[in-house]
Amino acid sequence: MKQKNFYIIDFDSTFTQVEALDELARISLKKHPEKEAIFQKIEDYTNLAMEGKLSFGESLAQRVRLLEATEDHLKQLIKVLKKKVSASFSRNAAFFKKHADEVLIVSGGFKEFITPVVSQYHIKKENIYANTFVTTGDGKIIDYDHSNPLSEEGGKVKLMQQMNLEGDLYGIGDGYSDFQLRESGLIKKFYAFTENISRESIVKKADHVTPSFDEFLYVNNLPRAISYPKNRILCLIIGEVDPKSIEMLKKDGFSIRHKTSFEEKYVADVHMLLLADGEKITEDQLAGAVTLKTIGYLGNAKNKIDLQKCTEQGIVVFDDTKANPRNNNFIPKRMIDFMNTGTTHLSNNFPNLQLPRIEKSHRLIHIHKNVPGIMAKINTAFAYHDINIVGQFLMTNPSIGYVITDINAEYDKQLFKFLKKIEHTIKFRVLY
């Protein structure tokens, strides 16, 4: 009988982008004359505990004393936290629904604000383990329940020892208390979550560094919203590029490298290429860029990029010739949209295809030479593997055919091998 898996997930700076007590302080001390100094003290106590330089119990006690918070402040905090769920957790809500019995939120934070946030993601209330506040009759927060093991140093270890779960346990978090579970031998692997913050002292002790929840799901072959983690998609930026454009690509989760030239070591591995005006890509570099999917050019790409060669290799090119002058981020937006949905709208060299995302489906992209009979072969493959097509879009130009197919959630992975082997196929990709 297969052993059950449990996923032990931290809340602060993991499930959410922020440390909740820090945010609560900003709300409760908004009008305090010394608020900035107190904010800093609270953040310092948080970081000292996360890095293992101060006991968690001492850190928690000091932070709660400094808060001067009330139940009304908590209501405001919950509204903030619901908007601050980490992007990779948010887009994988379906995973939590499907694995509701195996997902546990284990945090040194407080149930009063954790439960309303994670419950939106189908996480069961009985699977939420956290501290609780002590309040006065008029709603002032004055203390916390010191009998809760999570209020103590090594609290997560003590709690998991008490629970004695049978199965393989995987821990995901950003701090020392999460690593302690691995150190104690209670969990099989510890994944240092770095989407929001990367603590060097924790990263170097982790079994695996996961820059997103997509990465965790990918390496464990679990259901996920996107087929390939964005943190594994290399976006190379060459030359003087507006920092806002770089930030936009970084915020979407891609792995960014900003260089002054197209170094040889990146040619074979780059997936996205953003070039400043005046930069060029040679024929040899283009030929060697076997994983390259899109090029963005901040200017006119004519005579700087071999557009015909890009088309033959299945590389979508965007440049500023079709941009609205008022849109400063036209190119990165087009690149992101293409990588996320397959949309080629306003590209230089591909058939113009703009399409909505269809829920509860997998999106497959097939790029091929524009010769007769390809669509028949593609749909024969779907029929042979008993695949239900929920949406299909095809556009062609004289050189290529570009087809996007949305299929239902169930499929045989042999289908992908079949589609890749169809004669005249240039590129095949699973989007999500």
Residue 289 lies in a domain: yes
In DSSP notation, 253-314 reads T-EEEEESS--HHHHTT-SEEEE-TT----HHHHHH-TT--EEEESS--TTTS-HHHHHHTT
CA 402 – CA 406 distance, rounded (Å): 14
Residue 355 lies in a domain: no
Based on the domain organization, do 49 and 183 belong to the same domain?
yes
Based on the domain organization, do 272 and 195 belong to the same domain?
no
337-392 pLDDT, tens per residue? 999 999 999 999 999 998 888 877 889 999 999 999 999 999 999 999 888 899 99
Residue 325: per-residue pLDDT: 61
In DSSP notation, 354-391 reads --PPPTT-EEEEEEEES-TTHHHHHHHHHHHTTPPEEE
Q: Final residue of a domain: which of 162, 186, 220?
A: 220
Residue 47 lies in a domain: yes
128-131 vs 294-297, strand pairing mode: unpaired
Are 300 and 321 in contact, with CB atoms under 8 Å apart? yes
Residue 2 has pLDDT above 70, yes or no: no
Based on the domain organization, do 398 and 332 belong to the same domain?
no
Based on the domain organization, do 145 and 13 belong to the same domain?
yes
Please report, as a single letter, which amino acid is at residue 391: G
Question: pTM score, two decimals?
Answer: 0.83
Residue 298 has pLDDT above 60, yes or no: yes
Helix (H, G, I), strand (E, B) or coil at 401: strand
> Under the phi-then-psi rule, with left for phi > 0, alpha for psi from -120 to 50, and beta for the rest, what region is 122?
left
User: Which of the given ranges, 56-65, 279-288, 317-326, has the highest pLDDT on average?
Assistant: 279-288
DSSP state for residue 4 in the 8-state scheme:
P
Residue 351 lies in a domain: no
Based on the domain organization, do 197 and 76 belong to the same domain?
yes
Q: Final residue of a domain: which of 188, 220, 252?
A: 220
**E strand or H helix at 209, and its extent?**
strand 208-210
Q: What is the mean pLDDT of the chain?
A: 92
Are 210 and 198 in contact, with CB atoms under 8 Å apart? no
Based on the domain organization, do 243 and 371 belong to the same domain?
no
Residue 21 lies in a domain: yes
Residue 365: per-residue pLDDT: 95
Mean pLDDT of all residues in 394-403? 94
Q: What residues pair up with 128 in beta bridges, in sequence order?
A: 105
Based on the domain organization, do 324 and 386 belong to the same domain?
no
User: What CATH number should be reported for the domain holding residue 280?
Assistant: 3.40.50.720
Residue 406 lies in a domain: yes
Residue 229: per-residue pLDDT: 94
CA 332 – CA 319 distance, rounded (Å): 10
Based on the domain organization, do 216 and 243 belong to the same domain?
no
Based on the domain organization, do 103 and 198 belong to the same domain?
yes
Count the domains in the chain: 3
Helix (H, G, I), strand (E, B) or coil at 170: strand
User: What CATH number should be reported for the domain holding residue 179?
Assistant: 3.40.50.1000
70-87 pLDDT, tens per residue? 999 999 999 999 999 999
Residue 227: per-residue pLDDT: 87
Q: Length of the chain in residues, anyone?
A: 432
User: What CATH number should be reported for the domain holding residue 415?
Assistant: 3.30.70.260
DSSP state for residue 35 in the 8-state scheme:
H
Based on the domain organization, do 181 and 284 belong to the same domain?
no
77-121 pLDDT, tens per residue? 999 999 999 999 999 999 999 999 999 999 999 999 999 999 999
Residue 35: per-residue pLDDT: 86
| Distance set, CA 106 to CA 39, 50, 290, 293, 405 (Å) | 25, 15, 43, 40, 40
Residue 352 lies in a domain: no
206-250 pLDDT, tens per residue? 999 999 999 999 999 998 888 899 999 999 999 999 999 999 999
Residue 213 lies in a domain: yes
Residue 149: per-residue pLDDT: 94
Token code pair at residue 107: 């945090």
Based on the domain organization, do 23 and 171 belong to the same domain?
yes
Domain that holds residue 371: 361-431
Residue 327: per-residue pLDDT: 67
245-282 pLDDT, tens per residue? 999 999 999 999 999 999 999 999 999 999 999 999 99
Find all residues with CB under 8 Å of 114, minimum gap 6, and list them.
11, 20, 105, 107, 128, 130
Calculate helix-pair angle for 176-183, 155-163, nearest 10 degrees: 50
**E strand or H helix at 40, and its extent?**
helix 35-50
Based on the domain organization, do 365 and 301 belong to the same domain?
no
CA 79 – CA 72 distance, rounded (Å): 11
Residue 326: per-residue pLDDT: 60
Q: Final residue of a domain: which of 176, 192, 220?
A: 220
CA 321 – CA 193 distance, rounded (Å): 40
Residue 1: per-residue pLDDT: 55
